Structure 1
C-alpha cells in the first residue's frame, strides 16, 4: 500500500470518528433521557405495585382481625372504623351491616347499607348488593319492601333473580300466593338461574302445591 493510500485511509477513519462523535454529542442526551425514563417508569410501577399489595394485605389483616371478635356489636364497630378504600371499604361496610343484624341492630344495619348503596365512590357491584341487602332487612311494610326490590329485579341488574326471589317471599308473607307463584315460575324458567337457586325455587313451588313439569325423555 502506498503512503498516499495509507494517508487517505487514515483521513477517512478520522472523518468517520468525527461523524460518530458528532452524532453521539447530538443524540446522546436524548438516548440517556430515554434510558432514565424507562428505568424510572419501571421503578415507579414496581413501587406502586408494592404499595398496592401492602395496602391489600393490611386490609385483609384488618378484616380477619375483626372477624375474630366474638361479640357482634364489637365486630360491627371494628368493621365500621376501618380506614379502607374502594372495594375493601365496601366489603367492610357489608360485614359491619351483617354484624349489626346479628347484634339485633336493624336500624344501624339499614343506615350502613343505605349509605353504601348511595356511595358514588364505591364499586357498583357492592352498591347493588347493599341495596339488595337493605331491602331484605326485616320490615313489616310489605309494600315498601317490594317497592325497594322492584328496581333490583329488572332483567340486566346483577342480582335480579335474587331480588325476584325476595319479592316472591314478600308476596307469600302477604298472602299473595298466586302472585308469588308467577314470580317463582319466571325465576325457574330463566336460563340465568343457578342450579342452587332453581332447586330452591322448585322445592318451594312443590311445597305450595305447584305441579312441576315432567322431565323430557329422549
Structure 2
C-alpha cells in the first residue's frame, strides 16, 4: 500500500510538472534565448570595438610616420581622414595632431578649426578644454581679443581643468586691448590667490610688476606654457588598445 501511494504521489508530481512546463515552458525558452542573444551580442560588440581600436591605432601610427618624414600636408590629410572613422579618442587625437601641423605651416585659421573639431570628439573635459585652450592661444596671438574673451571665459569657470591658464589668457587679452585696469586686477588675483598653478602665479606676478612699471608685458603663447598644457592621458597606447575617453 505504501508503495502504491508513493507511486501515485510521483505520478501526481509528474503531472504537475508537465502542466507547469506546458504553461511556462515557452517563456522559459524565450528567456534563455534572450540571455544567449544578449551575451553573444555583448561579446561581438567587444570584439568589434577591439578590432576597430587596433585598426585606428595602426592608421594613427602610419600617419605619424608620414609626419615624421616631413610631408605635413599628407600627414594632415591622413589624420583628418582617420578622425572621420576612428573611435572618439583616436579621432580627437588625430585632429589635434593635424592642428599642430597646420600651425607649423602657418594655417592658423585651419588649426583653430581642427582644434574646435577635436573638442567635439573628445569626451573628457580635460581633453576637450585642452583642445579649446590651444585654439585660444592661436587667437590671442592673432589679436582677436573679442573672440578670445568669449572662448577663454568658458574655459575659466571654477573647477574647469585649465581654469588658471584660461584666466591668464583673459588677463593678457585685457592688457593687449589696453584695458590696463582690468589686466592689473586679473594679474594681481592670479599672482596672489591660493591654489593657482605655480607657473601662472609666477608669470602673473612678473606681468603685474611690468604693468606697475609702465612697461610692456611679455607675450604669452602656447610655447610659454608648453609644460602646463600637455597631459599624459592623451598619449596614444603603444599596444593598439582602445583610448578611454568617455565622459566621467
TM range (shorter): 0.7 to 0.9
Instruction: Tell me, yes or no, if the aligned pair for 2:171 and 2:186 is still in contact at 8 Å.
Output: yes
Determine if the alignment matches structure 1 residue 30 to structure 2 residue 31.
no
Deviation at residue 203 of structure 1 after TM alignment: 4.8
Question: Deviations along 1:116-173, whole A, 9 cap, x unmatched?
Answer: 55x5x76473554443322211303445434442333233544322211222334455
Counterpart among 164, 180, 195 of residue 161 in structure 1: 164
What are structure 1's unaligned runs of at least 5 residues?
211-218
The runs of at least 4 aligned residues of structure 1 exceeding 6 Å deviation read none
Instruction: Tell me, yes or no, if the aligned pair for 2:191 and 2:200 is still in contact at 8 Å.
Output: no
Q: How many residues align?
A: 202
Distance 1:205 1:110 in 2: 29
Question: Which residue pairs with 1:109 in the alignment?
Answer: 111
Gap change, CA 1:52 and 1:113, over 3 Å in 2: same
Instruction: Tell me, yes or no, if the aligned pair for 1:171 and 1:179 is still in contact at 8 Å.
Output: yes
Give RMSD over aligned pairs: 3.1
**For the pair shown, which has the larger CA radius of gyration, 1 or 2?**
1
* Larger RCO of the pair (alpha carbons < 8 Å, separation 6+): 2
Helix, strand or coil: the match of 1:81? helix
Per the normalisation by structure 2, the TM-score is 0.66
What are structure 2's unaligned runs of at least 5 residues?
211-248
